[in-house]
Amino acid sequence: MEKHPTHINIDISPARLATEISNLRYDALAEFIGLLQQKILAQSQEDQKRGRQKLAAELLNVSNHLAFAESYTEKAWEISKPYMEEE
């Protein structure tokens, strides 16, 4: 298995994956974004330890922006929650 593959080991295209993820209910989407943010932050920290300062800084930027995205998605969930039908 590649350390940094270019494809996810599922049988759908990146475009289809993006569609599937964007169709999640906003609370589930916020959870996904938060988990992704944590993984990217961990990668940044590992690169920092290895002396890869520029890469670590860029990954930290990605992580920070994902944290903002998670927060905004949680706000979207709070706005839309009252209008959601019980599932």
In the chain, % of residues over pLDDT 90: 76
Q: What is the mean pLDDT of residues 8-27?
A: 88
User: Which tokens belong to 81?
Assistant: 């929650």
pLDDT on residue 70:
98
User: Which tokens belong to 87?
Assistant: 């599932």
DSSP character at residue 7: S
Q: Which pLDDT tens digit goes with each residue over 55-73?
A: 999 999 999 999 999 999 9
Question: Average per-residue pLDDT in the chain?
Answer: 90
Q: What is the mean pLDDT of residues 69-87?
A: 89
Angle 42-43-47 from CA coordinates, rounded to 5°: 120
